[in-house]
Amino acid sequence: MAVTDCNALPCASRFTAVPIALLAIVLTFPLGGCSFDLGSWGSDKAKPQAVEQKPTGTISAPNAGDAQAYAARGQTLAKSGKTEEALAEFDRALTLDPYNVQALYGRGLIYQADKQHEQAIADFSAANGLTPQRIEPLLARATSYLAVDKTKEAASDLDEAVQADPNSAQAWSARGVTYERLGDKAKAFTSYSRALALRPRDEAARSGLARTGG
């Protein structure tokens, strides 16, 4: 299931059908893909304890380890296409640990697939705040921004993404599409050029380069 329906995006009259198709190619995240494999993610920020320690002799409350188990189950369910069950697991994880990046990002992808883009943006923003060195939340949030016609916000995210990972062909190609949509052919051209240098078989970037003067 595609995460965003680019055909539903409002477009300026100068924005042709070709860039619309490129958005679908470059800026979508299939729920069955590897986007849910975030087990190594961690936060650079100190996190408060998700639950308080109980006095000795009482039954232990669920802890952040339990939250991680829920998040892992959510990932597995999501990759199997069981999105409603996955959403419930991510919600359980975040009830125990509101700073669980896996659950925030996974839940955001499910919201995005269901076209609940404002909720998706909120979750991707939280995930990005906890892991600013990772580009995945930025790419995902850019997708939702484009879906609600916030193209400038998407461009800002993609600017940040290529700074965080200058070797991401996907981020450069997505940046090219976004700046082309904004009518900034110079930035689009530069972005497509970088994408092609990193991934020479990127046909979307090659087409974009031809449209923007390459």
| 42 inside domain | no
Phi, psi of 141, rounded to the nearest 5 degrees: -65, -35
Structural domain boundaries enclosing 96: 6-29+63-211
Q: What is the pLDDT of residues 137-192, one digit of tens each?
A: 999 999 999 999 999 999 999 999 999 999 999 999 999 999 999 999 999 999 99
| 56 inside domain | no
| 46 inside domain | no
| 39 inside domain | no
Eight-state DSSP code of residue 59:
P
| 55 inside domain | no
Cβ partners under 8 Å of residue 89, min gap 6: 70, 71, 73, 74, 77, 103
Q: What is the CATH number of the domain that holds 147?
A: 1.25.40.10
Number of domains comprising the chain: 1
Mean local confidence (pLDDT), 182-209: 94
Contact 206, 196 (CB under 8 A): yes
Encoded tokens for 22: 């490129």
Q: What pTM was estimated for this model as a whole?
A: 0.74
| 38 inside domain | no
With cut-offs at 50, 70 and 90, classify the pLDDT of residue 133: confident
Q: What is the pLDDT of residues 35-58, one digit of tens each?
A: 555 444 544 444 444 334 444 443
With cut-offs at 50, 70 and 90, classify the pLDDT of residue 28: very low
Instruction: Determine the Cα–Cα distance for residues 160 and 2; give it in Å rounded to an integer.
Output: 24
